[in-house]
């Protein structure tokens, strides 16, 4: 670890395997398909671990991820951001390369334009209706007329196939207790099963009901009526997830290796070389833990030091050491690890993972960023 460039990513592979196993069991126990969201890591080797024993289906957040994973043998991919006409050509190319690419929309005009584009290109797209189950980010309101009309329009479009309904309970991150997460999870399920029933009563076939976030899928007790789950963050977890209670701190698999670049003994402050472009400025669990800062500072073995990254500029991370014992021992050039608030945003800043097994770096795995 002394020879690695800083800032750099350290991936605890044993924890990754354990996290993968746990979510795999949740899917199998509930009789649902697992389609993990790979935007968390954007890494082929990690996706292979998560999909072992499952169909190999994945979810992506960019078409660059779709292309990279398609080149590496993944051929059933859901692009889980609403499609818009500026991306039709890229989506067409991916489908023409032999991949089953599922798209999603909440917009009738886009359905018409997509059908036309697919006709011209001689391809067929699988299209989900994106549903808002309470996050109010994107998606149709489940009780509205368009929640029926858009699926009917997709079903009636010659060059499209209605793939089903899909939601993401992002508001599960805004609650305070495990009981509240469970309530959001049950609501997510009930909204979707209710809408599927309504569509089926109107003779619209609904092949797949797709749900999932890490908090809701970690705590859900019954997924009756759901076909597929798409959690992503569970593979790494992070300071936010552990503070929220959907995992424990022993599950967190990704840390940032950083070097001390300044020590101010008078003010008991440290500055490290992991700033906002290494950790991201995500405030994570600040609603639950006002002193969370931008991440927990760990020693090289991964033990808590009691310190937090208190402020960030682009490449500087500032740490108020408070009473932390380790402060006296630390010198400029020493290394620390940081458990960031949001692992997906942190990983997306880097080019590769340094894979850590039994205390040694055993591999270097590529991250496919870009758009």
**Residues near ligand PLP (CB under 6 A):** 37, 59, 80, 168, 170, 212-214, 230-234
Residue 86's CB: how many other CB atoms inside 10 A?
7
- Minimal distance in Å, beta carbon 37 to ligand PLP? 4
237 close to 247: Cβ distance less than 8 angstroms: yes
Task: Report, in this order, helix, strand and coil percent for the chain, each rounded to 5.
Answer: 35, 25, 40
Cβ 184 to ligand PLP, closest distance in Å?
11
Give 245 or 275: the residue with its C-beta nearer to ligand PLP: 245
Nearer to ligand PLP, 8 or 212 (CB): 212
Provide, rounded to whole angstroms, the least separation between the CB of residue 214 and ligand PLP.
3
Nearer to ligand PLP, 147 or 229 (CB): 229
Beta bridge partners, 262, equal 271
Nearest of 102, 118, 214 to residue 162 by alpha carbon: 102
Long-range CB pairs of 81-84 (<8 Å, 24+ gap) are 82/106, 82/107, 82/110, 82/130, 82/138, 83/110, 83/114, 83/127, 84/110
Shortest Å distance, C-beta 265 to ligand PLP: 40
Residue 99: what are its φ and ψ, rounded to 5°? -95, 145
* Per-residue tokens: 200: 């089926």
Structure letter (DSSP) for residue 288: T
In angstroms, give the least distance from the CB of 241 to ligand PLP: 8
Q: In the complex with ligand PLP, which residue's Cβ is closer, 36 or 275?
A: 36
Q: Write the CB contacts of 279 (distance below 8 Å, at least 6 apart in sequence).
A: 256, 294, 295, 309, 312, 317, 338, 340, 341, 346
Residue (24 or 305) nearer to ligand PLP, CB: 24
Q: Smallest distance from the beta carbon of 232 to ligand PLP, in angstroms?
A: 4
Q: Which is nearer to ligand PLP, 217 or 272 (CB)?
A: 217
Nearest to ligand PLP of 81, 326 (CB atom) = 81
**Nearest one of 214, 173, 238 to 34, comparing CA atoms:** 214
Phi, psi for 308 (deg, rounded to 5): -125, 155
- In whole angstroms, the minimum distance from the beta carbon of 140 to ligand PLP comes to 14
């Amino acid at each position: 670890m002394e020879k690695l460039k800083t800032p750099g990513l350290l991936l605890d592979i044993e924890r990754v395997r354990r996290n993968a196993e746990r979510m795999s069991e949740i899917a199998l126990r509930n009789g649902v398909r697992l389609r993990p969201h790979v935007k968390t890591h954007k890494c082929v080797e990690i996706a292979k671990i998560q999909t072992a024993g499952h169909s190999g289906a994945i979810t992506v957040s960019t078409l660059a991820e779709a292309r990279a994973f398609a080149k590496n043998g993944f051929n059933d991919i859901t692009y889980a951001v609403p499609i818009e006409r500026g991306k039709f050509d890229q989506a067409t190319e991916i489908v023409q390369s032999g991949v089953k690419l599922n798209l999603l929309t909440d917009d009738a005009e886009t359905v018409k334009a997509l059908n036309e584009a697919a006709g011209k290109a001689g391809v067929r797209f699988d299209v989900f209706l994106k549903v808002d189950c309470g996050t109010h980010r994107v998606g149709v309101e489940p009780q509205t007329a368009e929640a029926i009309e858009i699926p009917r329009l997709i079903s009636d479009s010659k060059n499209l196939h209605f793939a089903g309904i899909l939601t993401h309970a992002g508001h599960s991150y805004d609650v305070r207790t495990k009981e509240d997460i469970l309530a959001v999870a049950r609501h997510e399920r009930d909204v979707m099963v209710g809408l599927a029933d309504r569509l089926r009563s109107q003779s619209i076939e609904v092949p797949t009901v797709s749900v999932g976030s890490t908090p809701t899928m970690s705590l859900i007790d019954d997924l009756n009526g759901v076909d597929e789950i798409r959690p992503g963050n569970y593979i790494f977890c992070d300071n936010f997830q552990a503070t929220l209670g959907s995992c424990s701190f022993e599950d967190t698999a990704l840390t940032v290796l950083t070097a001390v670049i300044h020590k101010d003994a008078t003010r008991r402050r440290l500055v490290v070389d992991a700033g906002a472009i290494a950790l991201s400025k995500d405030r994570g669990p600040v609603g639950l833990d006002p002193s969370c800062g931008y991440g927990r500072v760990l020693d090289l073995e991964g033990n808590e030091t009691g310190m937090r990254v208190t402020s960030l500029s682009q490449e500087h991370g500032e740490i108020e050491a408070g009473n932390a014992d380790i402060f006296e021992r630390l010198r400029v050039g020493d290394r620390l690890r940081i458990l960031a608030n949001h692992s997906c945003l942190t990983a997306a800043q880097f080019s590769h993972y340094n894979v850590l097994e039994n205390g040694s770096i055993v591999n270097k795995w590529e991250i496919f960023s870009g758009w």
